[in-house]
Structure 1
Amino acid sequence: MTDESWAGWYRDRQGSDAVILTTDGQQLRLRTRGIDFEGESFDGLIPVAGTPPADDLFALVDGALGDCVLEWDLPLPVLWDGAVHQATLSCLLSLRRPDPYLYLELQFGGAAYGSHRAESDFASALATIQRTLPPGVRLQTCIACAFSDYFPSLGRGLSGGLACFRGAKDAYRGAAGEGDVLDLWDRRTGFVQEVWSCREYEPRPERGAGTGHRGAFPLELA
């Protein structure tokens, strides 16, 4: 995987500053006000070891970046008419307590397709957008991929808890329930961000075998 970097803004009670978000699809890294943060989820970004103390510059909640708003844009591939096209996903994430929320908006083909205004995680927000897209247009991201799933019996976090089974494709194609996914769990390649996309992407089936534990995307996504 090749790292991607996205420019955006960080806002809190001390003001607004430019930010650079970098990801390899698994680990996130954020730099703002001269301090580096890293983590697997957008709500779990902690100061990188060896960096200057961040307590005076940021509001840390349980050691992680919190009580702030992040905004950024990222390129997002979509499949349409048998070809891959580049769209832009605008992200607004509020980590302010007690009610954090997420809003996503996809710009594609001269139109904008938004999620609900207060989504709880990237999976739900991207599913909302997929439902609003014109027929035949599909997001080409990990959440919409044929080889991704969440651990049975556990709820989804904000981001980053999506398991990738690209190393066990044939076995996952036959998975159609909680037990099948549990049997395959140790064969996962790793965890990925829901907005990530790789060259091994395949569209997720709409029903039946191959929909794993979480089901089709977006129809059965809870």
Structure 2
Amino acid sequence: MTDESWAGWYRDREGSEAVVLTTDGRRLRLRIRGVDFEGASFATLAPLAGTPPEHGTAALAEGVLTDCVLEWDLPLPVLVAGALRHATLSCLLSLRRAEPNLHLALHLNGAVYESARAESDFAAALASVQRALPDGTRLQTCIACAFSDYLPASDRSLSGTLACFREVKDAYREASGEGDVLELWERRTGFVQEIWSCRAFEARPARGAGTGHRGAFPLENA
């Protein structure tokens, strides 16, 4: 995967500054007040090993970034009546010690399609955006992909625990429940960010075989 960088802002009680979020689809990186942070999830961003403790003033709880707001925009591919269009996804994330609050807004063809103001994770927020989109318009991100799933019987985190099965596509296409996904789990390609997109993307089926453990996207009854 090739790195992507997204310009944004970091804010806390000490002030605000421009930042650049960089990701390869798996891990996230950014620098805050001279300190480099990295993590598999927005909820697990931690200073890299060897960072002098006197550098920077970002708040940490159990070693990870907290009590702050991150805001950034990223380009997002969207399928409109089968044709690829490029939209912009605006992300507003409040990292709190208790529970993060997330708001997403998709800017497409002069219109804005939003999630709720205080979603708890990217999967739920992206599902809200998808439901708001017109018929025939589909997000083209990992959460909407035919080859992604979560580990059965596990808690879904803010981001980064979505497994990719693109290297075992044919086997995953036959997966239709928890047991099937568990059998394939050790053959997963890796974990990806829900807002990532790669060339292997295929739209997730609406129902039946190929919807794995988590089902269609978005779930009709959610």
C-alpha separation between the residues in 1 aligned to 2:217 and 2:41? 21
> Does 2:202 match 1:208?
no
Which residue of structure 1 aligns with residue 151 of structure 2? 151
Shift of 1:221: 7.9
Partners of 1:134 and 1:86 in 2: CA distance? 16
Match of 2:197 in 1: 197
Aligned to 1:18: 18
Residue 139 of structure 1: aligned partner:
139
The answer to whether 1:57 aligns with 2:57 is: yes
The gaps in structure 1 that reach 5 residues or longer are none
Identical-residue share of aligned pairs (%): 73
- The whole-number CA distance in structure 2 between the counterparts of 1:41 and 1:18 is 20
Matches within 5 A, 1:49-198: 49-53=49-53, 57-198=57-198
Distance of aligned partners of 1:190 and 1:54 in 2 relative to their CA distance in 1, 3 Å threshold = farther
Moved over 4 A (4+): none
AA in 2 matched with 1:70: L
TM-score, structure 1 normalization: 0.97
- SS of the counterpart of 1:16? strand
What displacement does 1:99 show? 4.3
- Provide the rounded CA distance (Å) in 2 between the counterparts of 1:147 and 1:3: 21
Shift of 1:34: 1.2
Give the unaligned 5+ runs of structure 2. Answer: none
Q: Is the 8 A contact 2:33 2:56 kept in 1?
A: no
Q: CA RMSD in A?
A: 1.3
**Mapped partners of 2:69, 2:206: distance in 1:** 35
Letter of the 1:87 counterpart = A
Output the TM-score relative to the length of structure 2.
0.97
Matches within 5 A, 1:16-55: 16-53=16-53
String of CA shifts for 1:70-114, please: whole Å, max 9, x gaps: 100011000112221110000000013434210000000110000
Structure-2 change in CA distance of 1:7 and 1:221 (3 Å): farther
Separation (CA, whole Å) in 2 of partners of 1:73 and 1:58: 22
